[in-house]
Each structure stands twice: as structure tokens, then as C-alpha cells.
């Protein structure tokens, strides 16, 4: 019977606790032993009390909790060989032979490297005298399964990451609140949203809130963007709009990759159009808080699937990442998913923006088009040909 550990890593996201709950319960339901590793890779390196056997009751009430109740951390030691050797030793100590990791692409890549290195680590535990050969014998292979937890929705191969819809919901609520005060004073607001290098949150918030203009890294505005933005917003005002909302993704830049900062946009709206303008940085408000219904379902379905993937794995199966594609929970090759994600980053760096738009799984072009249609006050407002 397998001994399966679950951990969360990288930035927390709403739904991570639900994923842990599902993994723990499906593990126990499958007759296996469940462990949680606290504080991400740091807990794996530290071992001892940081690796805790979990019971059914331990995760009661976790489904609706925000963040991750087993903690997460950025861990320098795990990037070093000695740190991974210590982590491997701790796993042998607890008899753990499978690891489910819920995190972003960096955390998942780290996990797969660990799996690759595993036989070498076992060997080193023996040659260094830390373990007897018979102690490591049952642990010749390590199963790794990834779950994608991130508010950014930046991993290729899946339509949604655990947490992205909760975050989008919080952004929409916040913009609704801002709308009321903006309307009252006829003000403009520049709202900065998270997403790191991915514009999913900004684009979807633009569509969902009917923003006047958005900036995302995958589709930077034209060379003449300052005038273009001002003329669109001027026209919206002439049509009778009392408020203006511009959404800036934190990773936004122009076509030369110069960072577009919310303050730059604010100055333009104030100085060129004369709008009383404020900047709101939503920050970590959009990352914390309870998961929405979708993330509760996604984390539960995917947590269950992760344990099934562990139980069905053979030594030759590449590490899977649990995805959702067209509303179906599916397994994809973890390494390939990370590679595809990094390809999009490279397209942006190389200023191949059209390809970057196509490279994002979530039909960015369709959403971009819909945004432009719905926000336009007439045909000439549309940013697409
Ligand atoms: O990846 C999630 C995320 O919230 C990004 O959107 C953001 O760029 C980053 O993490 C912020 O990280 P930190 O909380 O370490 O400042």
C-alpha cells in the first residue's frame, strides 16, 4: 500500500486547502497512508514534525478555507543538491513513495527534477553511509503528480488553475466597489491586477467588468498607445460615461517591452483628458480569501484524480499534471506543460505577440475580441482590425 504525501508550494491560491483535503481523503479511501508536508519544500528538507500523517478528520472544514492550511514557502535549500538529498532521506524515513504537489510551474518543475534525480539520491544515501541498501530498496521510484495551484492561470495545457476564478471574482467585486465611487465623482481609476507575466486576470476582468481599456503582456498596445487610449476614453466620456476603468496587468509593457506602470496611465488620463484619476493596486486581496464554488469543485475533482494517477503510475509513466480541458479532468505530461508555458514567455520576450496570444490556452484572442466589441462605443473603437 502506498504512502502518499501532499504539499503546497509557491504562491498560495484559493482552493489549495481543498486540494489537500481531497488528496488526503482519496488516499485514505484507497487504503493508503496519507501525509501532509508543511511549509512546502522547506518542510520536506526539514523533515520531522513538518511531515505529518493525516487522518480523515484532520482536513475537516478545509474546503472553504482560503490560502493553504499546510503553509507554503520559497525554499533555497531544495535548489541545492544537499537539500534534495536531505528531503529524500526524510521521505525514506517516513516511508513515503509518492508526492502530490500543488503549485505553479516553478514548483512543478522542481518536483519533476527531484523525481529524475531520485535513483541517484537513493544511491548517495547508501554510499554516504546514511542508509543501508535494504532501507532504500523499496524506494527505487518516486511518483510525482502535479496539481496546478495559482491565481495567475498561466500554465499551458489546462483551461484553469486552482484559484484563478476566485481571484477573478475578487477582482470583479473590487471593481464593482470602485465603480460606485468612480461614478459618483465622475472619476477615472487605474486598477492594477496580479498575474505575474500572464494577462489572464486582467483580460478576464476587462471582459467581466466592462473596462474602458486594458493592458496585458501578451498583446501590448500599439506604438501610439497613449493617444489611442486617450481618444477611446474621451469618446466614452462624450457618449455620456461618468466613470472610467483602466485595468493594468502587473506584467504589462509596451511593444518595446518597457514596463507600463499604473502611474504613467494615471498621468495621461489626468493631464491629457483632465480626468480626476486615482490608482488602486488590488495586491494580495485578490489572492487571499475563500475559494469560489468553481475552485472548490476543481480542487476536489483534481485532488481525487491526482491520487488515482499515483496509483496507476508505472516506473515509465512520465510525471503527470492534472488539468481541466473543456470541462474534463485530464492528465497531461508535466514536463511538456511547463515547456509550453515557458515557450509563451519566450514568445513575449522575442516580441512575437501574436504567437503569444495563440500560445495561451484560454482562447485569449476570442476574449480580446469580445472585450473590444463590448467596450466599443462604435466600430472605430475596436482595437483589432
Ligand atoms: O503567482 C501568484 C502571484 O500572486 C503573482 O500574481 C504575483 O506576481 C506574485 O505571486 C506575488 O508574489 P509575492 O506574494 O511573493 O509578492
| pLDDT of 380 strictly over 70 | no
CA of 126 to the centre of ligand 1 (A): 39
Decide the pairing of beta strands 33-37 and 213-215. Answer: unpaired
**How many whole angstroms from 67 Cα to the centroid of ligand 1?**
13
Q: Are 35 and 52 in contact (CB under 8 A)?
A: yes
Residue owning grid cell 495567475: 152
* Three cell numbers, residue 128: 554516504
SS (H, E, C) the chain: CCEEEEEECCCCCCCHHHHHHHHHHHHHHCCCEEEEECCHHHHHHHCHHHEEECCCHHHCCCCCCCCCCCCCCCCCHHHCHHHHHHHHHHHHHHCCCEEEEEECHHHHHHHHHHHHHHHHHHHHHHHCCCCCHHHHHHHCCCEEEEEEECCCCCCCCCCCCECHHHHHHHHHHHHHHHHHHHHHHCCEEEEEECCCCCCHHHHHHHHHHCCCEEECCCCCCCCCHHHHHHHHHHHHHHCCCCCEEEEEECCCECCCCCECCHHHHHHHHHHHHCCCEEEEECHHHHCCCCCCHHHHHHHHHHHHHHHHHHHHCCCCCCCEEEEEECCEEEEEEHHHHHHHHHHHHHHHHCCCHHHHHHHCCCCHHHHHHHHHHHHCCCHHHCCCC
Higher-confidence residue of 374 and 175: namely 175
User: How far away, in angstroms, is 250 Cα from ligand 1 center?
Assistant: 10
pTM over 0.90, yes/no: yes
Burial classification of residue 268, based on how many CB atoms lie within 10 Å of its CB (0-12 exposed, 13-18 middle, 19 or more buried)? buried
Q: Identify the residue whose C-alpha is closest to ligand 1 atom 1.
A: 11
Q: Which residues on adjacent β-strands are paired with residue 53?
A: 35
The predicted model gives 65-76 an average pLDDT of: 95
Indicate the top mutation candidate among 8, 10, 11 to test ligand 1's pocket, ranked by most ligand atoms within 8 A of CB.
11
What is this model's ipTM?
0.98
Please tell me the residue having the least CA distance from ligand 1 atom 14: 11
pLDDT for 384 equals 45
Using the predicted structure, report yes or no on whether residue 378 has a pLDDT greater than 80: no
Is the distance from CB of 274 to CB of 234 less than 8 angstroms?
no
Q: What is the pLDDT of residues 113-154, one digit of tens each?
A: 999 999 999 999 999 999 999 999 999 889 999 999 999 999
Nearest-CA residue for ligand 1 atom 12 is 11
Residue nearest to atom 10 of ligand 1 (CA): 11
Burial 25-52 (b: 16+ CB within 10 A, else e): bbbbebebbbbbbbbbbbbbbbbeebbb
Question: How far does the centroid of ligand 1 lie from the alpha carbon of residue 106, in Å?
Answer: 12
Confidence of residue 385 (pLDDT cuts 50, 70, 90): very low
> How many other C-beta atoms are found inside a 10 Å radius of the C-beta of residue 127?
10
The verdict on whether 159 is a catalytic residue reads: no
Q: Quote the pLDDT of residue 315.
A: 83
95 is in an annotated binding site: no
Counting atoms of ligand 1 from 1, which one is nearest the CA of 196? 8
Looking at 152, 154, 212, 361, which residue is catalytic?
152
pLDDT tens readout for residues 329-338: 999 999 999 9
**Residue pLDDT, tens place only, 248-305:** 999 999 999 999 999 999 999 999 999 999 999 999 999 999 999 999 999 999 999 9
Whole-angstrom Cα Rg for the chain:
23
Closest-lying ligand 1 atom to the alpha carbon of residue 151: 2
Give the residue whose CA is nearest to atom 7 of ligand 1: 196
Q: Ligand 1 pocket by C-beta < 6 Å: which residues?
A: 11, 104, 150-152, 194-196, 250, 287
**How many A from CA of 194 to the centre of ligand 1?**
7
Residues 6+ apart with CB under 8 A from 310: 2, 4, 98, 100, 143, 145
Amino acid at each position: 500500500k502506498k504512502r502518499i504525501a501532499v504539499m503546497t508550494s509557491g504562491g498560495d491560491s484559493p482552493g489549495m486547502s481543498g486540494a489537500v483535503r481531497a488528496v488526503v481523503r482519496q488516499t485514505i479511501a484507497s487504503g493508503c497512508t496519507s501525509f501532509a508536508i508543511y511549509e512546502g519544500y522547506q518542510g520536506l528538507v526539514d523533515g520531522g514534525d513538518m511531515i505529518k500523517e493525516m487522518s480523515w478528520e484532520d482536513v475537516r472544514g478545509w474546503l472553504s478555507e482560503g490560502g493553504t492550511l499546510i503553509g507554503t514557502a520559497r525554499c533555497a535549500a531544495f535548489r541545492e543538491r544537499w537539500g534534495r538529498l536531505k528531503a529524500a532521506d526524510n521521505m525514506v524515513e517516513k516511508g513515503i513513495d509518492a508526492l502530490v504537489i500543488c503549485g505553479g510551474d516553478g514548483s512543478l518543475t522542481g518536483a519533476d527534477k527531484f523525481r529524475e534525480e531520485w535513483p541517484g539520491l537513493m544511491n548517495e544515501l547508501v554510499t554516504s553511509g546514511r542508509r543501508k541498501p535494504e532501507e532504500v530498496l523499496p524506494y527505487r521510484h518516486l511518483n510525482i503528480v502535479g496539481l496546478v495551484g495559482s491565481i495567475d492561470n498561466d500554465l499551458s495545457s489546462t483551461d484553469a488553475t486552482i484559484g484563478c476564478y476566485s481571484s477573478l471574482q475578487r477582482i470583479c467585486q473590487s471593481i464593482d466597489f470602485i465603480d460606485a465611487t468612480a461614478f459618483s465623482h465622475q472619476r477615472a481609476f487605474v486598477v492594477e491586477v496580479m498575474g505575474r507575466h500572464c494577462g489572464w486576470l486582467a483580460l478576464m476582468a476587462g471582459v467581466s467588468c466592462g473596462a474602458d481599456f486594458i493592458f496585458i503582456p501578451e498583446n501590448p498596445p500599439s506604438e501610439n498607445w497613449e493617444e489611442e487610449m486617450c481618444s477611446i476614453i474621451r469618446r466614452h466620456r462624450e457618449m455620456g460615461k461618468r466613470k472610467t476603468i483602466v485595468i493594468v496587468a502587473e506584467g504589462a509593457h509596451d511593444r518595446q517591452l518597457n514596463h507600463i506602470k499604473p502611474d504613467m496611465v494615471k498621468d495621461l488620463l489626468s493631464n491629457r483628458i483632465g480626468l480626476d484619476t486615482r490608482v488602486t493596486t488590488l495586491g494580495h486581496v485578490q489572492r487571499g480569501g475563500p475559494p469560489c464554488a468553481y475552485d472548490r469543485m476543481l480542487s476536489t475533482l483534481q485532488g481525487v484524480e491526482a491520487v488515482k494517477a499515483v496509483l496507476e503510475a508505472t516506473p515509465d509513466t512520465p510525471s503527470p499534471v492534472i488539468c481541466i480541458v473543456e470541462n474534463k479532468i485530464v492528465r497531461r505530461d508535466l514536463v511538456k506543460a511547463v515547456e509550453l508555458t515557458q515557450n509563451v514567455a519566450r514568445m513575449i520576450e522575442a516580441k512575437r505577440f501574436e504567437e503569444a496570444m495563440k500560445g495561451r490556452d484560454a482562447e485569449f484572442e476570442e476574449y480580446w475580441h469580445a472585450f473590444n466589441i463590448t467596450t466599443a462605443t462604435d466600430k472605430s473603437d475596436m482595437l483589432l482590425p
